[in-house]
Amino acid sequence: MVKRALPGVPYSLDDGLGFRRVESNGRKHIEILALAPVLANHPIVEQAIRDRASRYADLDMRSFAPVRRLERTGASLQIVTELPPGVRLLHLLADLESTREIAPEAALFELASLIINAVASLHAWPGGFAHGAINPAHILLTPDGRVVLTDGVFGAGFEALQRNREALWKEFRLAMPPAANLARFDQQTDVTQMGAVILAVLLRRPLRLAEYPRGVSDLVVTATESVSERLSSASGPTVRMWLQAALQIHQRLAFRSAVEAQRLFSELATIRESRSEGAMALHVLLSTLCEEPVVKAR
């Protein structure tokens, strides 16, 4: 069954951000994230996070979890976020891998569509908003079938750390596009991170530490070969091209924003012809793996 946080009990998502605990009051969940020292004890990082939280406070989006406040107590810096009930995509993928539960291709494509739509909604918002920390640990699946992006205030803070691509993956599980200079956390970076998430969904498991960035091209081939086998021989190459553009394997063909990526993904024949089937299959999958009943989205 999908792992859940117990109220008041600290837990880590293995994402390098720190330790969390959840306080529940009926249908309202408040998550308190105590930042890791590498973030909490860096004044420039703290200011960048505060600035981002302030700027994003007025985002009125059902697919974006709002940060309510930051609390500094001595060496401790805590981020308080309001979350709907749900399960992390990271835990769902871990369950699929460990239980070998059969996940229909249609359900996976529906889940991929929901994730892409959530990121595209953020990118379409006026003002050039970006998330900066998209990975399976920071995607919440709600009982009513929504995708909610969490932990969306760290992008500028990560820039302040001045880590390279390999270090950001190793420390924070963040997929980054190739760059000649230090990493930037903009919409194009969001697309790369989103591409890595969709790759994990199609593989039905989290990506391994050693599989990115050097092994990602082989993983794309592996994931899309299974698509060809289960659906049609024409589906695999089309999905492969989309993943390559999202992950910026060929930079001249790379997507610049999730809005662009969403447009092409929605045009894939496999997606267009199976959305109704996929929604039902995803509902059944979540109901099977989740401890509480999943309400079918309307």
41-45, 71-75, 279-283: range with lowest mean pLDDT? 279-283
> What pLDDT was estimated at residue 72?
95
> What pLDDT was estimated at residue 39?
97
Contact 215, 156 (CB under 8 A): no
Indicate if the pLDDT at residue 91 is higher than 50: yes
pLDDT-based confidence at residue 100 (cuts at 50, 70, 90): confident
> What pLDDT was estimated at residue 297?
47
> What pLDDT was estimated at residue 4?
67
Classified as helix, coil or strand, 126 is: coil
52-61, 88-97, 174-183, 272-281: range with lowest mean pLDDT? 272-281
The token pair at 145 is 């079938």
Q: How far apart are CA 74 and CA 35, in angstroms?
A: 13
> What is the average pLDDT value for the chain, to the nearest integer?
88
Strand ranges for the chain from DSSP E: 18-25, 28-35, 67-73, 76-83, 87-88, 139-141, 147-149
**Domains of the chain listed by start with CATH number:** 18-83 (3.30.200.20), 87-289 (1.10.510.10)
Which helix (DSSP H) or strand (DSSP E) does residue 123 occupy? helix 105-124
pLDDT-based confidence at residue 238 (cuts at 50, 70, 90): confident
